[in-house]
Amino acid sequence: MTIQKMALIGTGVMGMGIAQIAAQAGVEVRLFDAKPGAAEQGLEKLKVTLHKLAAKGKLTEQQLVDTLARLIILESIEEVAGVDLVVEAIIENLEIKQTLFKQLERIVAEETILVSNTSSLSVTSIASACQHQGRIAGFHFFNPVPLMKIVEVIAGLATDEQVVVDLLDLATAWDFGCPD
């Protein structure tokens, strides 16, 4: 499965790091945060980072323009419809994550992969309230995301093997390693 469009829910420290590496890798990233103004704030900070990278010669002017164009702020969570992947990077709270995943299921297509960047919660528990649990997995990045270059793919009890393969392929495409 090729990931061309993704949504990033929770535009804090981790969310914006993941948004950066995905947008730099060519993925359209739709940003949503429940706190008013948080996505705008996150994107402003990221713009500064990307301009600094361009000033240091680590991004060409064209890469800078293209990366910025791939970062889109959503007005409502309903606008995540149509993406190939949703990455959740919200507060580390099981009930709030479960509620979000249930909500996401009502918006996205059945084949859309849903992942959590959780550090400590069970992927099986996060997915437990959902109807299509096979497409849900953990995709655990480390802080600071653009520098750490490593991500854990975590299967829950119900996660489809193909979803694990797709996430490992995506990590490789983004030039991220996976620990054994």
Residues forming contacts to ligand NAD in the complex (CB under 6 A) are 9-15, 33-35, 38, 89-92, 96, 100, 117-119, 142-143
Nearer to ligand NAD, 63 or 98 (CB): 98
Closest residue by beta carbon to ligand NAD? 12
Q: Which amino acid is at 110?
A: E
Nearer to ligand NAD, 18 or 59 (CB): 18
Instruction: Tell me which H or E stretch contains 72.
Output: strand 71-73
* Spatial CA neighbour of 15 closest among 107, 100, 117: 117
Positive or negative CA dihedral for 14, 17, 21, 22?
Answer: positive
| Nearest approach, Cβ of residue 116 and ligand NAD (Å) | 7
| Nearest approach, Cβ of residue 71 and ligand NAD (Å) | 15
Nearer to ligand NAD, 30 or 64 (CB): 30
* Spatial CA neighbour of 137 closest among 89, 67, 172, 87: 87
| Nearest approach, Cβ of residue 60 and ligand NAD (Å) | 29
What's the CA gap between 32 and 19, in Å, rounded?
11
Nearer to ligand NAD, 22 or 59 (CB): 22
| Nearest approach, Cβ of residue 82 and ligand NAD (Å) | 19
Q: Which amino acid is at 9?
A: I
